[in-house]
Chain A
Amino acid sequence: MARFLRSPRFLEIALPIAAVLAAFMIGGVLLWLLGANPFEAYWVLLGGAFGSVSALAATLTKMTPLLLVALGICISYRGGVINIGGEGQIIVGALAATAFALWLRDLPGWLLLTLTLLVGALTGAAWGAIAGVLKARLNVNEILSTVMLNAIALQLMNFLLRGPMLDPEQIAAGTNIAQSEALPRTMWLLRLAPPTLLHAGIILALVLAVLVYLLLWRTTIGYRIRTVGLNPSAARYAGMPVPFYVALSLILGGAFAGLAGAVEVAGVQHRMLEGLSGGYGFSGIVAALFGKLHPLGAIPAAFLFGGLLVGANKMQLTVQVPSALITAINGLVVMFVVASEVYVRRARRRTGREAAAASLQSDAAPVTQASTF
């Protein structure tokens, strides 16, 4: 039993859960300091996130962009680069998607929708490519460049939504709220559970999660990305064009964030407006980390964090504490998860050593049956 409790497999599952609980305990202290009853607040949060059909629908709606961004983060991380530029990539993806859909508004709906999503992804990819090429060619730190590109994307949005893309109706009404014209109804993503906002984007995100898993672990491209990420020297000797795959990792990361922006436009808002990115570019990183940077692990992680975002709003309304608190809890979760990784790694090293020692003791080299890796 004690052995089981120390096994890496058990720790890998148990520690993230423990990390969440620990983060919530500290969050509870914060709530208490704010004068709220932590138990009541968390009960409201839980109910707001998962307690009813409409709550679940809202959670799944928030989960969609989180999962898409997290998938991109997974790819980037496996390629050895860290993409902090999700926010900017979401924004440029959403802007381009909106502009494109308004430009070709007379195309058949399914075609326009497909092309719009594609344009969003490609624009996000292009935004990621800037950081990618700078990293691959000039070894510019991608963390810095992607953060800076966020600021540029934000100002680009401010300019476009107040100028060239400003909704004609807003101009006519003289209200000048910074948002674009509404997209043609024909290309909206299917609403799955009206009257909630839940839309078909969630299905797309789930399918893509599986495809990203296949890409990373079943294809030669994924093998190259992972080799480059783990050991660029060995990758170089193995004949892999390392700079290309470094850039590709950031480009694919950008593509997924850009797609998330386009999906938000086509599925939720049906137009481009300020605040559309909603911090998903950062929360997506949290979800990816919590999901152990594995595309399939990102699914439950995005669900959990989507729920937290929804529940936090409810908590704010009911117990009168700022929903920003949930951002603090998110941060705490990440800190605990990352810290707990140390234990898993130590356990893994220990079992690895034991296995190696055991195989040395038996005289014949035991070759076990194959299984996939």
Chain B
Amino acid sequence: MSNERRKINSLEMIKITKRFPGVLANDQVTFDVKGGEIHALLGENGAGKSTLMRQLYGLYHPDAGEIRIDGQAVTIQSPTDAIARGIGMIHQHFMLVDELTVAENVALGMPSSRGPVLDLDRVEARIQALSQAYGLHVNPKAPVWTLAVGERQRVEIIKALYRGAALLILDEPTAVLTPQEADDLFVTLKQMKEDGHALIFISHKLREVVAISDRISVLRGGRLVDTVPNQGVTRAMLARMMVGRDVLLERAHKALETGVVRLALRGVSALNVTGQAALRNVTLEVHAGEILGVAGVSGNGQRELAEVIAGLRPLAGGSVELDGRNVSAWPPGKRTDAGLAYIPEERMHDGIVQEFSVAQNLVLQDYDHPPISRGLFLNFNAIAARGRELVSAFNIRTPSIDTPTRSLSGGNIQKLILARELSRNPKVLVAAQPTRGVDIGATEYIHQRLLEQRAQGAATLLISEDLDEILALADRIAVIYEGRIMDIVPRKQATAERLGLLMAGVAEKE
């Protein structure tokens, strides 16, 4: 097997155009990256970043335009072809086999140097070498299922390097990492850059892009807005390029008098779908006029926490109190009527019925109250009126209120759910990952609405894996780790470092 390093000095994509039925996904986009450079590709969802990169990785083929590697025009037929040319891609969702070890995963699909006999010892040695060279610490003999998310990502990077990648595309690589893990990743990336690798870093997190990249290209609506060197650019400038207008990155977060306890969890335990403990003795209080942020790395019980409050998951212990009443045994509908609103994490799965129209989804909670229905019969005029009212009040972009909800963009579906939940003027709002996968414009809007709710005296539990979001909105921050609340910190005393340690399960004991 050829372990000698290929090298890509320059890769150019020239006037790439890619059209899907009804959508111009890439419109004459020109983009290039050099060896020894980190080039960030910035843009909102639907801006065309993934489409562009998929053409580079051979998953799509451009309708027009040219790809040149070291000046030579090439056609990249397939991912196999891309790998053979030294292009690797780290996907957001890892492509690993949990039951196999790191070395087995890396060797998967590669010819063995001993023909039909496995050469895992050689693979392991090579992995050791790679991990030392780039600070990618991982045990080659460990089964993948025992690894943390950050380690799995390292395995993916090693896999790409093992296959001789000279150019690496990283698709939102920090989305699943703690701040410390992200810092580790950045060290690795910088080392790879020093070593002459070309790196393309896809992200919508402005802070990271500014921290790591040499050049930044911004896409908007399928077009390249500009490519700028990372000197003298500010986050505000980048945000304006992404959205096409000024964006409020920091919101005025006025201290408010907090009121009574609206939502309380006392010693709550719960199991996850596989029957393992997901929440352990969680105690929280959220007051009127307060946003309590719940920070943590994905999969540490956030989902179960939200479901327990919404009444979708039975308690294994403890109690949930809504407005002073113990609602532990109440079904979801009764909690809704008592003033609870819930923005679920899996909005397509739990929040809406995809086949229903926009108007139908907007009455999903209210369908059996007047005026939406009288007695047994639905009132279509009232449903349409409610639909029109909420579509315009919450600026939901939809061709009509009768459009099937599934054809809306993620941001607009989230606005739909927000409209439905907030229009009830809830006393308690549980928002789980409210802006995940949502573009900057919609994120800005959702944040503004959450702060309005706070000002009106709602108690909000904001569960988010985006620390920036929590730091921007929350009054106090609870950090969850393996189903336990590690600590609750007032925002003024919270730093990314301190929260990051808590997110990694390190409690400060002084």
Residues of A at the B interface (CB closer than 8 Å) are 218-221, 223-224, 226-227, 230-231, 233-241, 349-350, 352-360, 365-368, 370-373
Q: Are A366 and B354 in contact (CB under 8 A)?
A: no
Among A218, A238, A350, chain B packs the most CB atoms within 10 A around the CB of A238
Residue B381 CB within 8 A of the other chain: yes
Q: Are A365 and B391 in contact (CB under 8 A)?
A: yes
A-B contact pairs, 12 of them (CB 8 A): A219-B376, A221-B376, A227-B353, A234-B349, A241-B331, A353-B21, A355-B403, A356-B409, A358-B399, A367-B391, A367-B398, A370-B384
| Given contact pairs A237-B312, A238-B364, A360-B409, A366 touches B399 in the complex (Cβ within 8 A) | yes
Residue B332 CB within 8 A of the other chain: yes
Contacts of B381 in A (CB 8 A): 370
**Interface stretch of the complex, out of B97-105, B365-373, B488-496:** B365-373
B388-446 residues with Cβ-Cβ distance < 8 A to A are: 388, 391-392, 395-404, 406-409
Q: Are B350 and A220 in contact (CB under 8 A)?
A: no
Complex Cα–Cα for A224 and B364 (A): 9
Q: Are A236 and B332 in contact (CB under 8 A)?
A: yes
Q: Are B334 and A239 in contact (CB under 8 A)?
A: yes
Q: Are A239 and B333 in contact (CB under 8 A)?
A: yes
Q: Are B22 and A354 in contact (CB under 8 A)?
A: yes
Contacts of A368 in B (CB 8 A): 399-402
A241 CB to closest chain B CB (Å) equals: 7
Residue B357 CB within 8 A of the other chain: yes
Complex Cα–Cα for A70 and B52 (A): 49
3 closest residue pairs by CB, A with B: A239-B333, A370-B384, A352-B407
Q: Are A234 and B353 in contact (CB under 8 A)?
A: yes
Interface residue from B23, B365, B368, B392 paired with A365 (Cβ < 8 Å): B392
Residue B352 CB within 8 A of the other chain: yes
Complex Cα–Cα for A352 and B293 (A): 37
B335 CB to closest chain A CB (Å) equals: 8
Residue B344 CB within 8 A of the other chain: yes
Q: Are A220 and B367 in contact (CB under 8 A)?
A: yes
| Given contact pairs A220-B373, A357-B22, A370 touches B332 in the complex (Cβ within 8 A) | no
Contacts of A226 in B (CB 8 A): 353
Complex Cα–Cα for A149 and B314 (A): 33
A133 CB to closest chain B CB (Å) equals: 19
Q: Are A237 and B332 in contact (CB under 8 A)?
A: yes
5 further contact pairs, Cβ within 8 A, besides A218-B378, A237-B312, A353-B22: A238-B333, A239-B334, A352-B407, A368-B402, A373-B360
| Given contact pairs A356-B409, A367-B388, A367-B401, A239 touches B365 in the complex (Cβ within 8 A) | yes
Interface residue from B331, B333, B352, B398 paired with A359 (Cβ < 8 Å): B398
Complex Cα–Cα for A366 and B384 (A): 15
Q: Are A237 and B376 in contact (CB under 8 A)?
A: no
Residues of B at the A interface (CB closer than 8 Å) are 20-23, 310, 312, 331-334, 336-337, 342, 344, 346, 349-357, 359-360, 364-365, 367-368, 373, 376-378, 380-381, 384-385, 387-388, 391-392, 395-404, 406-409
Complex Cα–Cα for A266 and B408 (A): 52
Contacts of A235 in B (CB 8 A): 353
Contacts of A360 in B (CB 8 A): 397, 409
Contacts of A221 in B (CB 8 A): 376
Contacts of A358 in B (CB 8 A): 22, 399
Interface residue from A219, A231, A349, A355 paired with B353 (Cβ < 8 Å): A231
B20 CB to closest chain A CB (Å) equals: 8
Query: Secondary structure at chain A's binding surface: helix, strand, loop or mixed?
Result: helix
B343 CB to closest chain A CB (Å) equals: 11
Q: Are A359 and B365 in contact (CB under 8 A)?
A: no
Q: Which residue of B lies closest to A365 (CB)?
A: B397
Q: Which residue of A lies closest to B24 (CB)?
A: A357
Complex Cα–Cα for A356 and B351 (A): 20
B81 CB to closest chain A CB (Å) equals: 28
Complex Cα–Cα for A106 and B89 (A): 82
Q: Are B407 and A365 in contact (CB under 8 A)?
A: no
Contacts of B385 in A (CB 8 A): 370
B380 CB to closest chain A CB (Å) equals: 5
| Given contact pairs A234-B351, A240-B333, A350 touches B22 in the complex (Cβ within 8 A) | yes
Among B342, B384, B388, B407, chain A packs the most CB atoms within 10 A around the CB of B407
Q: Are A223 and B336 in contact (CB under 8 A)?
A: no
Complex Cα–Cα for A373 and B356 (A): 9
Contacts of A231 in B (CB 8 A): 349, 352-354
Q: Are A370 and B401 in contact (CB under 8 A)?
A: yes
| Given contact pairs A237-B310, A237-B332, A367-B391, A357 touches B23 in the complex (Cβ within 8 A) | yes
B387 CB to closest chain A CB (Å) equals: 7
Q: Are B21 and A237 in contact (CB under 8 A)?
A: no
Contacts of B312 in A (CB 8 A): 236-237
Complex Cα–Cα for A96 and B256 (A): 70
Q: Which residue of B lies closest to A348 (CB)?
A: B404
Q: Are B376 and A238 in contact (CB under 8 A)?
A: no
A363 CB to closest chain B CB (Å) equals: 10
Contacts of B406 in A (CB 8 A): 352
Contacts of A371 in B (CB 8 A): 384, 402
| Given contact pairs A223-B378, A365-B395, A230 touches B367 in the complex (Cβ within 8 A) | no
Interface residue from A237, A241, A349 paired with B344 (Cβ < 8 Å): A237
Contacts of B365 in A (CB 8 A): 238-239
Contacts of A218 in B (CB 8 A): 377-378
Q: Are A234 and B22 in contact (CB under 8 A)?
A: no
Q: Which residue of A lies closest to B368 (CB)?
A: A220
Contacts of A236 in B (CB 8 A): 312, 332
Q: Are B378 and A220 in contact (CB under 8 A)?
A: yes
Contacts of B396 in A (CB 8 A): 365
Contacts of B376 in A (CB 8 A): 219-221
A245 CB to closest chain B CB (Å) equals: 13
| Given contact pairs A356-B408, A358-B22, A230 touches B353 in the complex (Cβ within 8 A) | yes
B485 CB to closest chain A CB (Å) equals: 24
A252 CB to closest chain B CB (Å) equals: 15
| Given contact pairs A239-B336, A356-B407, A356-B408, A367 touches B22 in the complex (Cβ within 8 A) | no
Contacts of A234 in B (CB 8 A): 349-353, 364
Q: Which residue of A lies closest to B20 (CB)?
A: A353
Interface residue from A239, A240, A355, A370 paired with B399 (Cβ < 8 Å): A355
Q: Are A353 and B402 in contact (CB under 8 A)?
A: no
Complex Cα–Cα for A353 and B404 (A): 11
